[in-house]
Structure 1
Amino acid sequence: MTSSGREDETRMRLLDAAGEIFSGKGFHAATVREITKVAKANVAAIHYHFGSKDRLYQAVLEHAHNEALRRYPPDMGLAGNATAEVRLFAYVRALLLRLADKGRHAWFFRLMAREMADPTPQLAAVVERSLAPANAVLRAIVAELLGPGADPLAIARCAQSVVGQCRHFSIDRPVLTRLHPGNDPGQGGIDAVARHITRFSLAALHNYQVCDFTPPHLEPHVGDLF
């Protein structure tokens, strides 16, 4: 193996080891010494390959997300002339597959859950470089389904409503199976859940612009909850 090949292998071992440790302990509790021990690398390897623990953490987040997108791209290889409805199904199915992936980078979503609960300064770069491009694909689909002149805020909220369903069916699965004994919401597998989320979302999106709902006055004031 060439020196370049050995360096690449060491870098990947560091990323994998750091991902497991960061997802289990969080950024602050994880130590450089522990990561390099698990990676079977020299303590100086993190500085050599990434510059710092902070940059290693950012590299871990970006690498895992980009690898998940490579395996399950938002368009799932569809032709460019696919309808918005079909593209929505592909997007939902791909996201469900990424959420359910128990492979090499299964720790990614544990790590992101920690990041959501206790954001680090690295989150902004990960959102800009990795999350935003995929979300732009979904917003474009939603905008097309809502029709011309759709409000940008409505597009953003509808897009995140689609994502919210995917996360709920995947992340809350242990709760859902107990809430619905004998009628597991995940029955039929990922494709069945993807079809349901797509049907539910299409019904909402096709009627979103014509649905005029004015909520009654409730206490406490809705605005006080956020």
Structure 2
Amino acid sequence: MNTTHVPPLKTRQRLLVTASRIFAEKGYQEATVAEICEQAETNIASVNYHFRDKENLYLESWRYAFQQDMERYPSDGGIDPDTAAEVRLAGRIKSLIARIADPESHFFAIVHREMAQQTSLLEKIMAQEINPERQALNILVKELIGSDATEQQVQFCHASIVGQCFHLLKVKHLRLSQETQRYVIDMNDAEAYAEHVVQFSLAGIKAMRETNRHRIGSE
């Protein structure tokens, strides 16, 4: 018989685990502190003690979900920084899509809820946590296009890459009838979709790089 004892999660962590899941399922407005406490097997006083109020619990549970994602799927894909830029971009894209596709990941589900019913509560924390990821991707895109890349080209490439990844998020949260589902692309194979996004993005960047070279050469 296995007698290994697994110690119970401490109250604060139980609240974070439970709140991140419930906020992902229902959004900020529909989720209640009472429900979170009931499922976390604690009381409302513990929320007040550890987080002060519902708003701060929301922020901290979102941050917790983000940190859990980063532990499972490092944003650089675990790729050595000295590896070719094409491989590093592939690592970032595959990491992002893996995080979106993972049913146990609550970070992007909360973001999706926030986009549907904006509270503005996440603006500061999103800037703190997501902006470094955005900047890292932009630096990588500029490296791939070349030193003559314009700021607009970099921003457009960033929007194209992230937009492809976030399409999976939208499809994942659609609630469609069987009749309507046949008009929606099957996104069940996230790894295959990630490979497509990598190849499509690299081809687009290559075309942009060649266009810049021809333009500069003709000047």
TM over 0.5: yes
Q: State the distance in 1 between where 2:159 and 2:10 align.
A: 37
Structure 1: how far apart are the matches of 2:24 and 2:123? 18
Deviations 1:61-112 (A, max 9, x none): 1110121122111222211211110011111111111011122xx3333221
SS at match of 2:147: coil
**Structure 1 residues 184-213: Cα deviation after superposition (integer angstroms, max 9, x where no partner):** 6658x43332222111111111222528xx
Name the residue aligned to 2:74. 73
Distance 1:107 1:76 in 2: 19
Task: Tell me the percent identity.
Answer: 34
Distance 2:86 2:140 in 1: 8
Contact 2:100 2:168 in 1 (8 A): no
- Are 1:32 and 2:65 matched, yes or no? no
Whether the 8 Å CA contact 2:76–2:88 is kept in 1: the answer is: yes
Q: Distance in 1 between matches of 2:165 and 2:148?
A: 27
Distance 2:68 2:152 in 1: 30
- Structure 1 distance, partners of 2:196, 2:158, is 16
- AA of the residue aligned to 1:32: V
Change (3 A) 1:83 1:112: same
CA distance in 2, matches of 1:159, 1:143: 10
Q: Does the Cα contact within 8 Å between 1:65 and 1:108 map onto a contact in 2?
A: yes
Structural mapping, 1:34-183, within 5 Å: 34-103=35-104, 106-169=105-168, 171-172=170-171, 178-179=182-183
What is the rounded CA distance, in whole Å, between the counterparts of 2:76 and 2:26 in structure 1? Answer: 34
Letter in 2 for 1:107: H
TM-score (normalised: structure 2): 0.80
Is the 8 Å Cα contact of residues 74 and 137 (structure 1) preserved in structure 2? Answer: no
User: Is the aligned partner of 1:17 residue 2:18?
Assistant: yes
CA distance in 2, matches of 1:137, 1:177: 36
8 Å contact from structure 2 (residues 98, 191) kept in 1: no
Q: How many Å separate the matches in 2 of 1:186 and 1:107?
A: 18
Q: Is the 8 A contact 1:169 1:185 kept in 2?
A: no
Q: TM-score, normalised by structure 1?
A: 0.78
2:203 equivalent in structure 1: 203
Query: 2 CA distance for matches of 1:57 and 1:177?
Result: 33
Which ranges of structure 1 fall in alignment gaps of 5 or more residues?
A: 212-226
In 1, the alpha carbon distance for the partners of 2:170 and 2:60 equals 24
> Residues 26 and 80 (structure 1 numbering): CA distance in 2 closer, same or farther, change over 3 Å?
closer
1:26-75 deviations in Å (ceiling 9; x for gaps): 21332222221111112111111112211110111111012112211122
Mapped partners of 2:18, 2:98: distance in 1:
23
How many correspondences in the alignment? 200
